[in-house]
Amino acid sequence: MVFNTGAALLDAIVLAVVSQDERGTYGYRITQDVRQIIELSESTLYPVLRRLQKDGCLEIYDMECAGRNRRYYKLTIPGVQKLNMYRQEWKSYSDKVTTLFEGGSFQ
């Protein structure tokens, strides 16, 4: 992708991916889902997950899977609120860019 992915957009994408399952999802799965949208390495994803957890947007829990613990990430209420804010901001932003790209004006 030629467009830069800033921290806020990356946070929004990760929160949206995690929100797809109300029980939460695990890091590798998040990476695979995010890669469907943007190029991302695991070394980029895990600091984002830690930051979102520190900010109170994600809660973390472990569950056994095939004899190993797997770390799951789940949205908190503040995480849902932040995702909703990102969705509103994205809608406004993308509508304006689309209008501009399609030759429209803002007057």
Domain count, the chain: 1
For residue 38, the domain's CATH number is 1.10.10.10
* Mean pLDDT of the region 72-95: 96
pLDDT at 107 over 70: no
Express each pLDDT in 29-77 by its tens digit. Answer: 999 999 999 988 888 899 999 999 999 999 999 998 888 999 999 999 9
Number of DSSP helices (H) and strands (E) in the chain, helices first: 4, 3
In a domain, 67, yes or no: yes
In a domain, 99, yes or no: no
Q: What distance in Å separates the CA atoms of residue 45 and residue 97, rounded to the nearest whole number?
A: 27
In a domain, 32, yes or no: yes
Report pTM: 0.89
Instruction: Give pLDDT, residue 47.
Output: 94
Instruction: Give pLDDT, residue 1.
Output: 66
Burial class (CB in 10 A: 0-12, 13-18, 19+), 92: exposed
Biggest CA-to-CA distance, the chain: 61
Instruction: Give pLDDT, residue 57.
Output: 98
